[in-house]
C-alpha cells in the first residue's frame, strides 16, 4: 500500500521527506506539498493519511494524533520564524501575520504579550515583507520567507530564541499529524525516513542548497545546527506549555491534546 502525506514546502522539512523523494516510484509514501494553513484540509478530506503541519492544528482540533519520534523543532534560535518591526518592539500597535501560517502567528503574539507586554491588533496578510510593513507596524514571516527576509533598518525578534527565554523548553513548530486511525505502519515509515534524513543530512542540505541558493553554507548550518527533528518528553512539555498559553490568551477555546501513534515493532516494520 502506498500512503499519501502532505508536507510544508520549506527547507526545514526536507530531512523528514527526502528519503521518500529519493525512492521515487518505489516509495511506500507519496508526498504532496502545500502551505501550512492548507494542509489540515487534506487530512480532513482523507486525501492524506498524515500531514507535516503546524503543531497548533493538533491543539485546536479534537481527535488529532501525532506520529511519535518526529517533529520540526528548535531548542533555541529558529532563524526562519521572525518578527520584523519598524518601531521598537514595545511600541508595536499593529502586526501583519503571514496568512500561510498556523503555529508561528500564534506563538509570535504570545511572545509579544508574555515577553514585552504588547497585545497588537493583528491582521492576516500574504507573506510579502514590504507590503506587510506598509500596512502595519510589524510583521511575522515564516519558513523560507522568514529566513531570507531583509532585516536592514528593522527591529527583529527570533521567535525560537524568545520562546526559549520564556519557557526554557524546545518549541515544536510542526509534527506528523493524523486522525485517530493513523496506521502504526505509517508512523514507522515516517520514523524510518527521519532516521535516513539524519544519516544523510549533508546530502539533504546540499540538495536543498541547490534549490534555494541561500548564501554561503547557511542552508547546511540551518539544517545541521539550528533545526531539531526529535520528539522527546521535553518537546511534549514545550507543546503542552504552548497549549496552556494559547488558552490563557484566547488563541484556543478548548483543550485538546493529541495522543501519540507509536511505530509498529521493528520486527514488523516495512523495509524501505
Query: Which residues of the chain have a pLDDT value below 50?
Result: 267-272
The neighbouring-strand residues paired with 125 are 98
The predicted structure's pLDDT at residue 264: 78
The neighbouring-strand residues paired with 228 are 73
Question: How wide is the angle at C-alpha 34 spanned by C-alphas 124 and 84, nearest 5°?
Answer: 35
Assess contact for 175 and 197: CB atoms under 8 A.
no
The predicted structure's pLDDT at residue 148: 87
69 contact partners, CB below 8 Å, separation of at least 6:
191, 194, 230, 231, 263
The predicted structure's pLDDT at residue 1: 63
The predicted structure's pLDDT at residue 267: 39
**Closest to 259 in 3D by CA, of 179, 172, 170:** 179
236 contact partners, CB below 8 Å, separation of at least 6:
172
The predicted structure's pLDDT at residue 100: 83
Distance of CA 249 to the CA centre of its chain: 21
26's grid cell: 518505489
236's grid cell: 511534549
Judged by DSSP in three states, 2 sits in coil
Q: Phi, psi (5° rounding) for residue 162?
A: -65, -35
Averaged pLDDT score across all residues of the chain? 93
The predicted structure's pLDDT at residue 217: 85
Compute the Cα dihedral for 46, 47, 52, 53 and give only its sign.
negative
Assess contact for 239 and 260: CB atoms under 8 A.
no
The predicted structure's pLDDT at residue 137: 98
Q: Specify the length of the chain in residues.
A: 272
Assess contact for 176 and 52: CB atoms under 8 A.
yes
Assess contact for 75 and 163: CB atoms under 8 A.
no
The predicted structure's pLDDT at residue 271: 40
Condensed to tens digits (0 to 9), the pLDDT of residues 192-215 reads 999 999 999 999 999 999 988 888
Condensed to tens digits (0 to 9), the pLDDT of residues 102-114 reads 889 999 999 999 9
DSSP string, 30-44: EEEE--GGGHHHHHH
The predicted structure's pLDDT at residue 270: 40
DSSP letter for 11, please.
G
238's grid cell: 514545550
The predicted structure's pLDDT at residue 143: 84
Amino acid at each position: 500500500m502506498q500512503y499519501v502525506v502532505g508536507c510544508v514546502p520549506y527547507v526545514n522539512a526536507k530531512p523528514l521527506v527526502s528519503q521518500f523523494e529519493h525512492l521515487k516510484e518505489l516509495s511506500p509514501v507519496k508526498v504532496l506539498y502545500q502551505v501550512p494553513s492548507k494542509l489540515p484540509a487534506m487530512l480532513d478530506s482523507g486525501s492524506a493519511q498524515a500531514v507535516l503541519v503546524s503543531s497548533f492544528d493538533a491543539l485546536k482540533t479534537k481527535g488529532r494524533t501525532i506520529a511519535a519520534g518526529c517533529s520540526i523543532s528548535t531548542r533555541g534560535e529558529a532563524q526562519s520564524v521572525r518578527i520584523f518591526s519598524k518601531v521598537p518592539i514595545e511600541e508595536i500597535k499593529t502586526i501583519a501575520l503571514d496568512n500561510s501560517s498556523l503555529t508561528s502567528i500564534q506563538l509570535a503574539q504570545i511572545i509579544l504579550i508574555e515577553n514585552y507586554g504588547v497585545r497588537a491588533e493583528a491582521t492576516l496578510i500574504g507573506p510579502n515583507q514590504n507590503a506587510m510593513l506598509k500596512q502595519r507596524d510589524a510583521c511575522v514571516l515564516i519558513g523560507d520567507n522568514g529566513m531570507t527576509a531583509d532585516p536592514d533598518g528593522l527591529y527583529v525578534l527570533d521567535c525560537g530564541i524568545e520562546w526559549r527565554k520564556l519557557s526554557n523548553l524546545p518549541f515544536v513548530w510542526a509534527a506528523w499529524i493524523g486522525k485517530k486511525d493513523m496506521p502504526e505502519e505509517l508512523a514507522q515509515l515516517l520514523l524510518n525516513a527521519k532516521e535516513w534524513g539524519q544519516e544523510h543530512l549533508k546530502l539533504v542540505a546540499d540538495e536543498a542548497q541547490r534549490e534555494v541558493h541561500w548564501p554561503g553554507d547557511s542552508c547546511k548550518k540551518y539544517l545541521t545546527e539550528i533545526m531539531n527533528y526529535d520528539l522527546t518528553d521535553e518537546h511534549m512539555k514545550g507543546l503542552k506549555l504552548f497549549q496552556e498559553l494559547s488558552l490563557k490568551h484566547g488563541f484556543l477555546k478548548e483543550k485538546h491534546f493529541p495522543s501519540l501513534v507509536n511505530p509498529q515493532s521493528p520486527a514488523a516494520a516495512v523495509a524501505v
